[in-house]
Structure 1
Amino acid sequence: MNTITLHIPGISCHHCIHTINTELADMEGVKSVEASLDSKLVTVTFEPPASEDRIRDLLVEINYPAEA
């Protein structure tokens, strides 16, 4: 099991959090998603076939890119 924490500067409201949580939770292999409006951080716990690259790609696709 892997865990990553990503900074997503585009998080500005609870709708952002809901969208990120819903989209990432639907990805095969993602076990948990915790997003914070205050810190703009998203912590994702996952296993294959999910990967950090696939998670980052999905965030870009839904217009919430993580900082490099």
Structure 2
Amino acid sequence: MTTKEFNVPSIHCKHCVHTIEMELADMDGVKSVKGDLDSKKVVVEFDQPATVESITDTLKEINYPPED
């Protein structure tokens, strides 16, 4: 299993966190998602077929693009 932390500066409220958690949790291979409003970070645990790239693409699609 891989764990990756994403910096998502466009998180502004609990609804943002909820949306991100629900969308990423629906992806095949994603085991857990935890968003944090204060730090604007999202921690994702995943296996194949999910990848860093597919998670990043999903975040971009739902208008929460991560930054490096």
How many residues are matched? 68
Q: TM-score, normalised by structure 2?
A: 0.99
1:44-66 Cα distance to aligned partner (Å, 9 max, x none): 00000000000000000000000
Provide the C-alpha distance between the structure 2 equivalents of 1:52 and 1:44, rounded to a whole number of angstroms: 9
Matches within 5 A, 1:53-64: 53-64=53-64
Long gaps (5+) in structure 2: none
Provide the C-alpha distance between the structure 1 equivalents of 2:50 and 2:10, rounded to a whole number of angstroms: 22
Match of 1:33, SS state, is strand
Q: CA deviation at 1:9?
A: 0.3
Residue in structure 2 matched with residue 24 of structure 1 by the alignment: 24
Matches within 5 A, 1:1-68: 1-68=1-68
Long gaps (5+) in structure 1: none
In the TM superposition, structure 1's runs of 4+ consecutive aligned residues that sit over 3 Å from their partners are: none
Q: TM-score, normalised by structure 1?
A: 0.99
Match of 1:59, SS state, is helix
Identity, % of aligned pairs?
56
Match of 1:4, SS state, is strand
